[in-house]
Structure 1
Amino acid sequence: MRRALVVEDQNLMRLALMTELRAGLRDCCVAGAQTLPLARQLLEQDQFDLVITDPGLPGFDPTSRHDRLHVVETIIEAAPEAAHIVVTGSDDEDEALACRLLGARSYVCKTGLAPGELRNVLERIDRGETPIRLSELDAAKPDVRFPTLTPREDEILAMMMRRKAGTKRREVFETMSSKTGINPASAEKYYKQARAKLLKLGRLPKGL
């Protein structure tokens, strides 16, 4: 059984990341830590295969490059055999490269991180890649979830709502296919099912 640790002080984000890991890694036991001391304690007590860290932890200045890299370096040194992913809401390319030099396998911006994207990052790491995902100007779009939809239907609608101007639906179906392992026709089926449900409720968002 693989073990993963999520080091994130924001409760909702920590739980969301832990849920994403459980969904993407079925055989994985996931732990969470809110502070650097707690993370170090867990890393001393157990061996983890994957560690996800937000460098803006309590007790450190989230705007200080020195403090942020200190957090990342400390955690990587405490678990040198693990695969490390840095997640942040205030990303920049220079920091991403610095984290890579410290040993991080990936650098991911939390802004606009859609369901399934973390799983895609993990798959790329397994292939030996070191993916960097920075924020985009159009990432700050509303993120809506509807309780009547299945997780797959929710995911394809979220991707459709966040698509860039000019992106065709077919391209979104293909993107979902590559991220989730289903074929584009199945992705289209989920989209049509979700759309039909929202039309019935009279809650179809603009652009769908």
Structure 2
Amino acid sequence: MRRALVIEDQDLMRQALIVELKDSLGDCIIAGAQTYALAQSALADEMFDVVLIDPGLPGFDPTSSDQRLRVVEAIVRAAPSAVHIVITGSDNDKEAAACRELGVAAYLGKTGLPRGGLGKVLEQVARDEFSLRYSSANAQATEVHISGLTPRESRITELMMQRRPGERRKDVFVKMAEELRIEPNSAERYFKQARAKLLKYGRLPRGL
């Protein structure tokens, strides 16, 4: 069973990354750390296969490139055999290059990272490729989140509501299957489950 550590002080972002890792890694154990001290403690007690690092942690100046890189370097040293992924809202070329020199396998901007994006990054890293993805604010559609649905039911609902003119439901099932690495018939099953729940509560949005 693979083990991962997510070092991120923002609760919502940390939980979102944990969900992404669960979908990507399958059977796994994932720990979350809000501070550098908690991360160091976790790394001293456990061996991790994957470590996600936000270098702008509390107690360090998030605008200081030296301090940010000091965080990354210390964590890489503490878990030399792990795959290290830096994920930040302050991404830039210089820091990406410096992180790569420290042994980081991927450098990602937080803004615009799509659902399923971590899975694709891990696939790239598994091929011994450095994964570099900068922030992108060029969203093409509004995100949709509906209470009462599981993450996968919510995602297929969102994709269905964002269909382009002429795009068939079958095409959407294939798109979700590719994103989450599941079968199209599984994507269709999640859609039917979501639709049944929404009909039960009388909340069927337009496009479904």
Give the secondary-structure state (helix, strand or coil) at the position aligned to 2:138. Answer: helix
Deviation at 1:96, TM superposition (A): 1.7
Residues 85 and 105, structure 2, Cα contact 8 Å, conserved in 1: yes
Identify which range, 66-75 or 143-152, moves more after superposition.
143-152
- Normalized against structure 2, the TM-score is what? 0.79
Is the CA contact (8 Å cut-off) linking 2:86 and 2:106 kept in structure 1? yes
Conservation of the 8 A alpha-carbon contact between 1:10 and 1:34: yes
Q: Equivalent of 1:201, from 196, 200, 203?
A: 203
Q: Does 2:73 align with 1:34?
A: no
Amino acid paired to 1:56? G
RMSD: 3.2
| Runs (5+) with no aligned partner, structure 2 | none
- Aligned position for 2:97: 97
Seq. identity, %: 53
Alignment partners' CA distance in 1, 2:132 and 2:191: 28
2: distance between equivalents of 1:189 and 1:45? 41
Do structure 1's residue 50 and structure 2's residue 50 form an aligned pair?
Answer: yes
* Matches of 1:188 and 1:128, distance apart in 2: 34
In the alignment, is the contact (CA less than 8 A) between 2:195 and 2:204 conserved in 1? Answer: no
Structure 1 portions without partners, runs of 5+: none
Q: TM-score, normalised by structure 1?
A: 0.79
- In structure 2, the partner of 1:25 is 25
Mapping of residues 103-182 of structure 1, within 5 Å: 103-139=103-139, 142-158=142-158, 175-182=175-182
CA contact (8 A) 1:111 1:139 kept: no
Q: C-alpha distance in 1, partners of 2:42/2:153?
A: 36
Specify the SS of the correspondent of 1:138: coil
State how far apart, in whole Å, the 2-side matches of 1:137 and 1:82 are. Answer: 30
The equivalent residue for 1:68 is 68
Partner-residue secondary structure (3-state), 2:61:
coil
What is the aligned partner in structure 1 of residue 77 from structure 2?
77
